[in-house]
Amino acid sequence: GRPCVGLVLSGGGARGFAHAGVLKVLETLGVRIDVVTGTSMGSMVGGAYAAGYTAEEIERIVLSVDWDQMLAVRPERELLPWRRKAEDFQGLSSAAIEITADGRARLPKAIVPSQELDIFLMRHTGIVSMVEDLSYLSIPFAASATDLITGERIVMQKNCTLGTAMRASMSVPGAFAPLNVGDHMLVDGGLVDNLPVELAREMGADVIIAVNVGTPLSGRDELQSVVGVMAQMVNILTEQNVRRSIRSLGDRDILITPDLTGLSSTDFKKSADIIRAGETAAQTHAEALERLARPRAEWAAWDAERRNLITEAPKRTEHVISAMRVEGNDMVTPERVIAATGIPLNKPVTNEEVEQGARRVWAEGYFSSLKYRFEPGPGSTEVLVLEPQEREEGYSTVRIGGSLETDFEENNNYNVIFSHTWHLLNSWGAEWRNEAAFGDQHRFLTEFYQPIGPNTNWFVELEGSYERTPFDIYRGGEPIMRWRNEVLDGHVMFGREFPGLGHAGVMGGWLRTKAKREIGVSDMDYEQGVVSTGYLGGQMVFDTLDDVDFPTKGYLFSAEGLVTEADADGRSPYIFMAEALVPWSVGPWTALLQVEKGRSTQPDAFRLGGAFNMAGVPAGRWTGSDYDYASIALARRFATPLLENTPIWVGGRLEAGRAYNGSDPGWSESGDDKWRSSASAYVGLDSVIGPLYLIFGRTRNEGSALYFVWGHPH
């Protein structure tokens, strides 16, 4: 005699957190739910409840999510291979245009990679992963998805896990990549059925409790940009099918529409407010909901049974993995995938360590995502099965970057960089990178990187480059000549990568250097001539910084040097450069210490001056064969309501340094080895187009300057 009660939860992005608040009221009142359907975020919350999670547990999970990590456009920097980390210092964009093996340009399938979402779903639904017919969950459940090819609604219930159903239903087009399931390419179900009332009826529901948290249509004032117009197009499709669903509701059904004014589908960090709004909205319908409530003892017995899958399933926080197996890979060898995880065999590892291992494989860049599962192994051990989604063999990427520095007067410097990399040239992970930079510094580079084996950290790198860097000669505080250093270099490096830390290697090659006057008085030339010689050298970089522009943790230690063949006087020319950069953070405050040292037999090899290298004077104010520099900065991170997801840094910096030529001709200032000092204050914005700075600095006995900087400063 009791009606079958169906709970229908709509999609709505972050607004869907309101569903957790509604569930809290349903549990308080003792409403028994017999079937659950959901779309997008509604499938996440509804699926979790159907699997046996309580409203309080769902709320706790939502509030504990690190949304910055979940929605990051790339892996955490600490996990990246050293070659990708090195590109950060060149100011290259995180996003890339992909070129297929047949030469077609292809934009990314999504803004946000799905790896963190996949890990989240594996963590919270893995406990019921043995269920592949979701009508056999504690509460029968189904999610709606959209077939991107046919435009049809696809019901995610049979022959799929709960995690797969959730992932398909919430694949917002453009945000997350479509999910391929069989012959279907699935995206967010909100496009065709955002409030799946009909689906709940098909599952036997007599009475519907529908919760609609969809984003309402925008007004005229909000449709003044391409982004606003495109969002409205999606909302129109969603709103039309939601209205059809609402019209199908009968007198016995209950429609709950939380007041989410001022809360958007992207307000993930306002989850507590959104949950409260859902709870408040459900409480206003308490009288109608109470008519569906069951006696407390009956409801409690049902709820205990509902939670069986969660409470009785073994919760393993540690695993002893006896073997690993890779499925679904074609190009990258299984040995390389397994080695990248860094997970030891036959030793206890936690769930968090397994998740971090999956992230390390993803960060290698060969896979768009990686899923995993556990299978029984010998004795009490387990087999870890890795399921990587491999990128196309021989694909390549194009990335663009640059930098700009101006003091709003005569000193303006810029660089534009184009980088093209061919990836996965063979099963060992070879790649070929080409780079061109124009502006203040001209640079052309080609390099081929080849790991020596499928699962080794040893590598060989062949590189050829041409670089042209201008510098000014000063006298009496004024520039009197402009010269340029030209370097043509070719070398081979044999090295070893230290995963998560960096690399070190030795190299041998040939170079040709020349210093040439561009502008200035001809009778003051001190032409260095052309030097063409072989050399031996070494390179070491250990980099664990979390960010190269606004670091808060980690460190950077680098050293590089070379020595050439002896010249006619029996001397062996050389150049050496070392740098250390260490941040310390307490709460929103970060202190940053930086030390650099360079020595060379080549005049004017190093430059000192500029916004981040002795603020208050023009870039390259001093040049020399000897270089010393140190700075300490203190900055505070702020979050403002206007730019909630764009941190603002306000800080100051003290600097000391010198650059001079030990063999100065006497008529310039380049032989002055006096230390210089400066102080500066700055505001920095970690924006979507790269770092932006406004800096005021003063160098003692030299002057002051106001700078605007875009791009990486180092």
What's 332's domain CATH number? 3.10.20.310
Burial of 70 (0-12, 13-18, 19+ CB in 10 A): middle
E strands in 73-134 = 97-99, 105-106
Q: Which two tokens stand for residue 387?
A: 């399921």
Burial of 236 (0-12, 13-18, 19+ CB in 10 A): exposed
Q: Is 201 helix (H, G, I), strand (E, B) or coil?
A: helix
Say yes or no: 423 and 372 in one domain.
no
- Confidence label for 668 from pLDDT (cuts 50, 70 and 90): low
Of the listed ranges 27-31, 79-83, 388-392, the one predicted with least confidence:
388-392
Say yes or no: 421 and 365 in one domain.
no
* pLDDT > 70: percent of the chain: 93
Helix spans in 55-214 (H): 55-64, 67-70, 82-88, 115-125, 162-169, 190-193, 197-202
pLDDT 10s digits, 338-366: 988 999 999 999 989 999 999 999 998 88
Residue 515 in domain: no
Residue 488 in domain: no
Per-residue pLDDT, 411: 84
Say yes or no: 323 and 450 in one domain.
no
Contact 139/49 with Cβ under 8 angstroms? yes
Residue given tokens 């600097």 in the structure block: 655
pLDDT 10s digits, 405-446: 998 888 888 899 999 999 888 888 899 999 999 988 899 999
- Confidence label for 474 from pLDDT (cuts 50, 70 and 90): confident
pLDDT 10s digits, 150-196: 999 999 999 999 999 999 999 888 788 889 898 999 999 988 999 99
pLDDT over 70 (residue 667) = no
Contact 143/161 with Cβ under 8 angstroms? no
- Mean of the pLDDT values across residues 620-638? 93
Residue that terminates a domain, selected from 279, 312, 345? 312
Distance, in Å, from the CA atom of 677 to the CA atom of 656, rounded to the nearest integer, reads 4
pLDDT over 80 (residue 139) = yes
For the chain, the average pLDDT equals: 89
Distance, in Å, from the CA atom of 385 to the CA atom of 373, rounded to the nearest integer, reads 5
State the DSSP H helix or E strand holding residue 701, giving kind and residue range, or none if neither: none
Say yes or no: 404 and 368 in one domain.
no
Per-residue pLDDT, 380: 87
pLDDT over 90 (residue 71) = no
Q: Which residues contact 101 (CB under 8 A, 6 or more apart)?
A: 392, 393, 394, 395
Of the listed ranges 86-100, 201-215, 510-524, 567-581, the one predicted with least confidence:
510-524
Say yes or no: 406 and 428 in one domain.
yes
- Confidence label for 369 from pLDDT (cuts 50, 70 and 90): confident
Of the listed ranges 36-50, 91-105, 419-433, the one predicted with least confidence:
91-105
State the DSSP H helix or E strand holding residue 39, giving kind and residue range, or none if neither: strand 35-39
Q: Which residues contact 75 (CB under 8 A, 6 or more apart)?
A: 113, 115, 359, 362, 363
> DSSP 3-state helix, strand, coil percentages of the chain (rounded to 5)?
25, 40, 35
Q: Please tell me which residue, 230 or 535, carries the higher pLDDT value.
A: 535
- Mean of the pLDDT values across residues 686-707? 92
Which is nearest to 483 in space by CA: 438, 521, 437, 444? 521
Distance, in Å, from the CA atom of 529 to the CA atom of 531, rounded to the nearest integer, reads 7
Per-residue pLDDT, 623: 87
- Mean of the pLDDT values across residues 438-461? 92
For 121, list phi and psi in degrees, rounded to 5.
Answer: -70, -40
Amino acid code (one letter) for 399: R
**Catalytic pick from 118, 188, 407, 543?**
188
Residue 78 in domain: no
Contact 665/526 with Cβ under 8 angstroms? yes
Residue 149 in domain: yes
Instruction: Check which CATH number belongs to the domain holding 566 and give it.
Output: 2.40.160.50
- Mean of the pLDDT values across residues 645-655? 91
How many domains are contained in the chain?
3
Say yes or no: 304 and 422 in one domain.
no
Residue that terminates a domain, selected from 390, 423, 439? 390
- Confidence label for 634 from pLDDT (cuts 50, 70 and 90): very high
For 310, list phi and psi in degrees, rounded to 5.
Answer: -80, -45
Mutual orientation of helices 271-283 and 55-64 as an angle, nearest 10°?
150
Q: Is 372 helix (H, G, I), strand (E, B) or coil?
A: strand
Instruction: Check which CATH number belongs to the domain holding 246 and give it.
Output: 3.40.1090.10
Provide the residue range defining the domain that includes 345: 318-390
DSSP-derived letter for residue 366 is S
pLDDT over 60 (residue 313) = no
Distance, in Å, from the CA atom of 610 to the CA atom of 617, rounded to the nearest integer, reads 6
- Mean of the pLDDT values across residues 243-252? 93
Count Cα neighbours of 36 within 13 Å in the Cβ-side half-sphere: 27
- Confidence label for 310 from pLDDT (cuts 50, 70 and 90): low
Per-residue pLDDT, 154: 95
Distance, in Å, from the CA atom of 252 to the CA atom of 206, rounded to the nearest integer, reads 9
- Confidence label for 661 from pLDDT (cuts 50, 70 and 90): confident
Distance, in Å, from the CA atom of 239 to the CA atom of 337, rounded to the nearest integer, reads 44
Which is nearest to 394 in space by CA: 420, 423, 419, 366? 423
Q: Tell me if residue 221 is catalytic.
A: no
40: left (phi over 0), alpha (psi -120 to 50) or beta: left
Residue 378 in domain: yes
Distance, in Å, from the CA atom of 292 to the CA atom of 205, rounded to the nearest integer, reads 13
Say yes or no: 60 and 170 in one domain.
yes
**Catalytic pick from 40, 144, 171, 631?**
40
Q: Which residues contact 221 (CB under 8 A, 6 or more apart)?
A: none
Distance, in Å, from the CA atom of 539 to the CA atom of 230, rounded to the nearest integer, reads 49
Per-residue pLDDT, 146: 94
pLDDT 10s digits, 508-519: 999 998 878 877
Residue given tokens 């037999």 in the structure block: 601
Q: Which two tokens stand for residue 332?
A: 């990258």
Residue 61 in domain: yes
Say yes or no: 592 and 606 in one domain.
yes
Say yes or no: 553 and 640 in one domain.
yes
DSSP string for 673-693: ---EEEEEEEEEEEETTEEEE
Amino acid code (one letter) for 619: A
Q: Which two tokens stand for residue 479?
A: 């520039």
Say yes or no: 294 and 343 in one domain.
no
3-state secondary structure 482-524: EEEEEEEEEEEEEEEEECCCEEEEEEEEEEEEEEEEEEECHHH
Say yes or no: 361 and 459 in one domain.
no
Residue 122 in domain: yes
Distance, in Å, from the CA atom of 689 to the CA atom of 415, rounded to the nearest integer, reads 15
Residue that terminates a domain, selected from 271, 288, 312? 312
Q: What pTM was estimated for this model as a whole?
A: 0.84
Say yes or no: 306 and 287 in one domain.
yes
Residue 104 in domain: no
Q: Tell me if residue 40 is catalytic.
A: yes
